[in-house]
Amino acid sequence: MTPAAPTRRGLAQILPALLATLALTACETPGEVPRLSEVELDESAGQSAALPSEAELSDEGGFLAATETPVPRAAPPQGGLLGWLGGQAAAAKGTGPDARQVPFGTTLPYGEIARVCGVPESRLGVPVAQYPETRRGYVLYDSRPGTTAPRALYITGFDDGCARQVTGALALFGDPELHEQLRYGLAGRSLPKGPVDGAYETVKAEVCRVAPGRPCGRAMSRLARDTAFVSVYPAFGSASYVNLLLHGGQVVALEQH
């Protein structure tokens, strides 16, 4: 089993291997993932005294969750009748971007998300990352580790017990503190705002009790316990990505860049 991937704290230890991987894939795929060095940051945002180095982070932060091979073909839902019925009932109540439910093995187009219910985690693939690092919350599974092609990636840790499926070549977890450092810096304030940014302001106001556009402050540790960003890329080196906001065991928002 592949160990859970680090976010910012462990990236310094795997930096040489990470840079080698990205250097190889950059030769095959045009474009580059945005670098933190291109964004001017506000030192007052969030709780961190300073940002990690540009070599430690890529876009929203996280870990390369991927590596090729086609997405598995369709198969019937697993987990027994009770698990299947429970998943059906839970999914029917959903109204968010992940309200759709699909059978395990369905191929989803890039940019879409769906629920997969009644399937044991052992069938989802290899767990490659978790957020937060200190306890089991959201877990990212790779259905075909060791490849670089887009394939099914699964995220668990939701209140209804169903996994969320997306399609991508790699995925990254990012924390809300890093999001604030990027968005509330001088350069970030001029960037266009999307559904994920608006949803984050709503979540932050509820948990942190601060005005829009202001850092969470001392309540950041509480907010970060169950709030995470997930960036899903269609290919290594791609400048486009799908951004997800997870909070309170739910998918709150999705947008495509």
Q: Kindly report, residue by residue over 21-53, the tens digit of the pLDDT.
A: 433 333 444 444 444 344 444 444 444 333 344
Total domains present in the chain: 1
Q: Facing residues of 151 across strands?
A: 168
Q: Which domain holds residue 161?
A: 8-256
Q: Is residue 88 part of a domain?
A: yes
Whether the bond between 68 and the residue before it is cis, its omega within 30 degrees of 0, is: yes
pTM (whole model) above 0.75: no
pLDDT of 186? 78
Q: Is residue 56 part of a domain?
A: yes
Q: Is residue 1 part of a domain?
A: no
The secondary element (H helix, E strand) that includes residue 204 is: helix 195-208
Distance CA(77)–CA(79), nearest Å, equals 7
157-211 pLDDT tens trace: 999 999 999 999 999 999 999 999 988 887 777 777 889 999 999 999 999 999 9
Q: Is residue 3 part of a domain?
A: no
CA geometry: angle at 251 spanning 147 and 229, to 5°?
A: 60
Average pLDDT, the chain: 74
